[in-house]
Amino acid sequence: MRREKGGLWVAVCAAFFYPIGFLTGRQRYEGRDRLPAPGGGGALVVANHISYLDPVHTALWVHTARRMPRFLAKASLWKIPVFGKVLVASGQIPVYRESADAQNSLRDGERALAEGKIVVIYPEGTITRDPDGWPMLARTGVARLALSSLALDRDVPVIPVVHWGTREVYDHYRKRFRPLPRRDIVVRAGDPVDLSEYRGRPLDAALLREVTDLLMVRVRDLLAEVRGEPAPADFFRRGGAA
């Protein structure tokens, strides 16, 4: 199977990410067959976020399926010398929160999906503050992206994906980095979420909240499968999640 073309900077990122992925744990990448094959169109990957190592393993999960990931990420990352240039060159999508440019971020994501790209979003906006590592109440931008394809009568799969094990290696809030002993790092995809019942409905705040919660319930339930324990009934809430 041929690989989706990524260009020089994607190759540079791959050369950097693959060793990190190997050194930070035993990789268990599951459900990559849920992604469309190269040339088969785009997909929206909706993932939980428990560690700053997650993007490394999300990227490798997508790349080992012979696709190229496009992340929606905090715009502040584009200000980092050299790294910002890599983000631009590799086609990543900056997210401008609480600004007039916020809608542009979503439009860029919609355009990438329409062009057949794999777009990755962490709807919580940052690593979870739930003490037990379950997803927080998510922002509704993910619903806007997911529903944009329906409005244009495109069948872009919306795929729930979870990470587990990365926080055991790097826990940002506790300032712990423990690569040894090596642990299993799981990235698993579930079945695409069927959103067809929402086609044609007015895009208002209530609908965005409903679809966002539906997607995150699928993510939460998939995480419960990976963890082998029941998920909490409610999402952890923090200020500003909307």
The residues facing 176 across adjacent strands are 171
pTM given for the model: 0.91
Fold of 8-227: Glycerol-3-phosphate (1)-acyltransferase (3.40.1130)
- The segments of the chain whose pLDDT lies below 70 read 1, 5-6, 9, 78, 81-85, 97-105, 151-153, 239-242
pLDDT score, position 242? 40
pLDDT score, position 10? 74
pLDDT score, position 202? 87
User: What tokens were used for 169?
Assistant: 């290696």
Distance CA 168, CA 86 (A): 28
Q: What is the pLDDT of residues 49-108, one digit of tens each?
A: 999 999 999 999 999 999 999 998 777 776 776 666 677 777 788 877 655 555 666 888
Distance CA 172, CA 157 (A): 32
How many Cβ atoms are within 10 Å of 218's Cβ, its own excluded?
Answer: 20
How many Cβ atoms are within 10 Å of 95's Cβ, its own excluded?
Answer: 24
pLDDT score, position 158? 97
